[in-house]
Amino acid sequence: MDSQNTSGQLDDQAQPALSNTDFFWALSLAERKQGLPDDFTGSNANTENTNTELADYWLSRQPFQAEPSRFLQRLESDGLDLQGFNFITAESRHDLSQRLRQRPKWLDDLKTAFSQDHNQVKLPPVSPSGVISGDLLVLIKPLMQQGLAQLRAKLERLMLQQDKQVLDLTSCCDQLFEELFSRLAMICGRTLVMELQIARVEQTLQGDSPKQRFKDFIARLADNNVRSALLRDYPVMARLVVETVQRWQETSLELFERLFADWPALEQTFNHGRDLGQVCKVKTTLGDSHRGGRSVAMLEFSSGVKLVYKPRSVAVEAAFGQLLTWCNQQGFSAPFKPLLIHESKTHGWVEFAQQQSCQDKAALNRFYRRQGGLLALLYTLEANDFHYENLIACGEQPVLVDLETLFHPWLGQESTAEGGEIPAVALKRTVLATGLLPRRIWTQRGENAGVDLSGFSDVQDQQTPTPVLDIEHAGTDQMQFIRKVISFSGADNMPTLKGEAVKAQDYSADIIAGFSELFSLLISCRDDLLAPTGPLNAFDATEVRVIFRETRVYASFLMESLHPDFMGNALERDIFFDQLWIASKQIEYLTPLIRSEHASLRQMDIPLFTTRPGSKDVVTDSGEILKDFFPVSGMARVRKKIESLDSTELTRQCWVIRSSLLSADLSNRSASHSHITLAEKAQAATARELLDGARELAARIGELAFRSGGGANWFTWKAVGNSHWDLEPMMPTLYDGIAGVTLFLAYLGQLDDNDAHNELAREALHSARYIWRHHANEIQDIGMFNGWGGLIYLLCHLGCLWQDEALFDEAETLVTHIREGLAQDTNQDIVGGAAGAIIALLGLYRFRAKPEILALAEACGRHLQQRAHNTGTGLAWVLEAAGTEPLAGMSHGVAGIAWAMFALSRVSKDRSFADTASQALLYERSLYCEQTGNWPDLRQGKRPETSVHEEGHYYMTGWCHGAPGIGLARLATFPYFKDGQLQEEIQAALKTTLANGFEDNHSLCHGSLGNLDLLLQGGKILDRPELTEQARKLAKQILSGKQSGGWVSGYMYNLETPGFMVGLAGMGYQLLRAACPERIPSVLSLEFPAVDAILAECSSSQ
């Protein structure tokens, strides 16, 4: 960067440099295949002397290193074999240019731009794109000048053909140039900043300050010799710049050609036949770039009319507008106002939707009722991707502004042959798939930083889900790119009340009412809707988009592909784009699409795939048709869905809507558990009353079940980050997964002799089985409630209930997962760790008395011995998730672990396990507080408000922490170990539980029905029938009390869940326990089935 030549032309020495063979390095692998000698595309090619460094690097990348056959697939997609690939990657620049000979058009344009004088072309002032100013782009100033001059000339010729002056050419070109500048700044920015850093490190810049040295760098970029050298060093960047300018010209000219051709029709459609006036504002790139740089644009006219131009058919928008009108005609109580539309075959014009405020609360109620109605339509039409940018709050009218993603075809099997559903697939069968309802995107950064980009949500001040590129020290020689999380600015999707922000969560009743009304309207008018002349038929031949990967994934690929490392050789950029092949290992249908994705990304477009609702074909953005790509068309899916709409489906979807809206607001509320009110003391509940209560809960669980292909699953709540909750399909586990629901339904089916309960239980098992067989890596723990132990427990129970020996065989196959996971166990407890695995293995050992099962249980015991801490008062275990102090209690503490070790000692006849357990009891006993009659909850962090604070500690009264769980653990220990203190501890636990254990929710984990189990177990083990009677009296009070407040879950905020330990299934199971305690084992004590009792008739108890 020494020679200075700043004239408009390159000097004689610089000009030839632009025809240098270096620029052929900008060709991709697919392009270099052109003209390849025939003997290098077959097995006879001679590759003995090839340089394999680049080829070896390419093959060492994922996924090709692990699957070389996939690399051959990748080559085949470009029409290559391995011999041809080796030849191309070993080819020199000179040999490549000689072989191809014909210079690409973009290279001619590059040479022309730098060989002519463009000083008379003044570039308009532009706002910095981010912080990349016009100064840095002086490198490519001749290209920008040439492009602007050519566009002006073409627009001038176009305007001469018009009857009147409708365009201020200078103003229009200036506005269009702003968009071009932004694109070019993105392409060149990182490379130029890196060159600045190199110059600073090499100390070649002149100046006494960082700003002066930056100015010197800019001056050097204006030198034609420097320009020539940099463009040769980065031929990929040079090509991208030239082609971006070309496409900008073409798409800008196309926009105005179409505008002038449609002008009379636009005046009729959008301005009542009156003159539109002059175009006074044009803004392009309002959406993603597709099909050669085309994107949505907005034009404003001097008449005040604003139009949105879409460079594609808008037939789908027109058909949707007709559907909205049809809904109005059928009597929807909050009529929609469809946007005005003008259709052309290749493009279309749509009325601009302007954000406006609602003037009163009644208007807001109507807005959200319409939101619910739109949600029902989008759900029915298999829509997705309706995020915050695709919705405008236009007064009391919510307006959808991009309807490309209706009739989305199924991208895989809706259900497997086995009838199980992949959890991610389950989401696609709910209203969540539309993208309108709150749902957070999470990253792997380990921070509480999920982001909700849904149509119903306010993105204001939310942070980007991943760090984005930004610049620091702009305008100095210390300028550099960094990555940081930034905040979103507000969008137009949120309604306001006289300018004040509102939240969708506060209008959930209106949303659900609108959803229910329109959903019911679709059911009642189903025949008209599906008729050949019905509004659905208008969609059949429209063009809709298929989203195979999220747009943000493609956008990330584009941005990262502009790194300087990929600007010197297009093959390096190809290698980067080949990461698209990684996902194809798991998602095979992506494979035939990758070649098209490559081609689009190479030219700076977001890949676009389309279909027609009535077709099973997919069309790439180059026009290639992939025949019968989908198993069924989007229209067939929609028609099938409409035919299946019923009140049960409405109930399920309303639950999802209510839950999703609630989840979005949880982080803004103070954590709280719901309390319950016991009815006045009463007579003991009868078995029939208890069974009726269980049936009621089972009916609700049935309503919430998603059933398909012989499988069934539910949604439950998952805590993510530190303050957010998300809805997720259940995993197979016992605590809050499918296993717990299955267990309840199976026992109810046995007692009730009800085929419906048994059928749903078997369907649930089908889904659980599919997940643990095909997604075993999703189950990380080995314990009883969150891990593999609970699945063994379930299968043993079902094996007895259904008298099916094959289920015990299947339970035995799951033992290997405990064996493989033991070394990684850091939980150690009953819930997720080795103690729970011990109980599961000992239970299975009763049915399959194989030495290896007992040996694994003993290995779990030694694992616990090795990890025990000597506290000075006894042994205990520290759990990573709980803090630094060893815990007391059943779920995560000493009580549960000691009980498991006592049981293991008895079966294995190894006294050391009992000695460990005895030492552990010493620690837990040292924690007992006489004043509270309880053991402290020593977890670190936030406490639920159900905790009582005494003597510097928190105390809970639940199965998980506190007296009830410890009492159950001591009762379970009773057969293996007795001392005088054990009886005293049980009595203390009973007293404290009766005094404090029936004020909170109804859950098993930390609620009243779980605490009931201490009385039921105490009555049985201690032979104290009065405790059983007391349990039934309390059960009667619970049943009576819930009449006013309903069933209250164990989750914060009373989030309804079908799950076992905190939800409906556990409540129902415990009512069965109270009805038939001698026949229904205690899950809270992890009892295995008593076979004879289960198979006995229960009619006398009913």
Annotated binding site for Zn(2+): 960, 1005-1006
Rounded Cα distance, 892 and 803, in Å: 33
For residues 646-677, one letter each, b for 16 or more C-beta atoms within 10 angstroms of the residue's C-beta and e for the rest, the string is eeebbebbbbbbebbbbbbbbeeeeeebbebe
120: its two tokens: 């008379």
Considering only CA atoms, which of 416, 379, 263 is closest in space to residue 645?
379
Does residue 369 contact residue 511 with C-beta atoms inside 8 Å? Answer: yes
521, 327 Cβ separation under 8 angstroms? yes
Question: Which residues, at least 6 apart from 909, have a Cβ–Cβ distance to it below 8 Å?
Answer: none
1013: tokens are: 């189990």
List of E strands, 824-950: 869-870, 875-876, 948-950
Among 451, 414, 578, 424, which residue's Cα sits nearest to residue 62?
Answer: 578
- How many other C-beta atoms are found inside a 10 Å radius of the C-beta of residue 552? 15
Q: Are 742 and 1063 in contact (CB under 8 A)?
A: no
Cβ atoms of 768 and 788 closer than 8 Å: no
- Cβ–Cβ < 8 Å for 45, 255: no
Amino acid found at 237: M
Annotated binding site: which residue ranges? 960, 1005-1006
**Rounded Cα–Cα distance for residues 85 and 87 (Å):** 5
> For 875-910, where are the alpha helices, taking DSSP H only?
894-908
**Interacting residues of 1083 by C-beta distance below 8 A, sequence separation 6+:** 734, 743, 1004, 1060, 1066, 1069
Query: Do you find a cis peptide bond into 264, omega within 30 degrees of 0?
Result: no
Q: Could you tell me which of 185, 507, 565 has the C-alpha nearest to residue 375?
A: 507
Q: Give 458's Cβ-side CA count (13 Å radius).
A: 13
Tokens 């759900």 correspond to: 379
Orientation angle between helical segments 911-926 and 851-866, nearest 10 degrees: 40
The token duo for 905 is 């000692």
Say which residue the tokens 């004879």 belong to.
1092
Task: List C-alpha distances in Å: 419 to 428, 710, 769.
Answer: 16, 5, 10
Q: Which helix (H) or strand (E) holds 543?
A: none
Kindly give, in sequence order, each residue whose CB lies less than 8 Å from that of residue 769, ignoring residues fewer than 6 positions away: 418, 420, 732, 810
Q: Are 176 and 249 in contact (CB under 8 A)?
A: no
Rounded Cα distance, 566 and 552, in Å: 20
Residue with tokens 């005088």: 980
Residue located via tokens 């997962």: 817
For residue 13 the two structure tokens come to 């020495």
Q: Nearest CA to 1007 among 972, 1047, 948, 1057?
A: 1047
CA 829 from centroid of its chain's CA atoms: 31
Nearest Cα neighbor of 336 from 374, 386, 384 is 374
Give the integer Cα–Cα distance in Å for 152 and 147. Answer: 9
- Which tokens go with 1046? 């309903």
Residue type, 939: R
Give the strand pairing for 480-484 and 468-472.
antiparallel
